[in-house]
Amino acid sequence: MNQLMQSRARTAPSLDQLLVTDAMHPGVVTCPVETPLRDVAWMMSVYRIHAVVVYGEPGEKTPELWGVVSDLDLVEAASADDFEDRTAGQTAATPILMVEPTDMLAHAAQIMAENEVAHLIVIERSSGRPIGMLSTLDVAGRLGS
């Protein structure tokens, strides 16, 4: 290991020293459950994101979080014969896994590993409203900093 890598290894904080807010991406892109999967793919492409949060049931006055469609979900769905007929709600991973910005990053990483998911929704404690996303790439970025 060269000197620079040894120096970085000694100075990088561990995940149990960091909060979710230190790694998360603020803001979320959402869609209703009835959104065609092709439109979800378009959103991911345009916004250059890896997951879209799916909310509510058609006709609900107060939509609730429903699930998450990830880029991997899209790849798996693309191999199915019914891709053109599928919706976000039919494809979304449920139940939603959530963390708060003040949770320890080590805890969030543990949730991802135990549930074999690459994305967690970050919610505001008081309202339960989604305020951001945390991905495995975000965790990797903090591990490598």
Q: Which two tokens stand for residue 86?
A: 């599928």
Check residue 104 and report its DSSP letter.
B
Query: Quick one: average pLDDT of 89-99?
Result: 88
Q: Specify the residue for token string 């969030």.
A: 108
pTM for the full model? 0.81
Query: 7-52: per-residue pLDDT in tens?
Result: 555 566 788 889 999 999 999 999 999 999 999 999 999 999 999 9
The pLDDT of residue 110 is 97
The pLDDT of residue 77 is 92
Delineate the domains of the chain, giving CATH numbers in brackets. 13-143 (3.10.580.10)
Mean per-residue pLDDT of the chain: 87
d(CA 12, CA 93): 33
The pLDDT of residue 13 is 75
Helices (H), 12-51: 37-47
Contacts of 112 (CB under 8 A, 6+ apart): 97, 118, 120, 136, 139
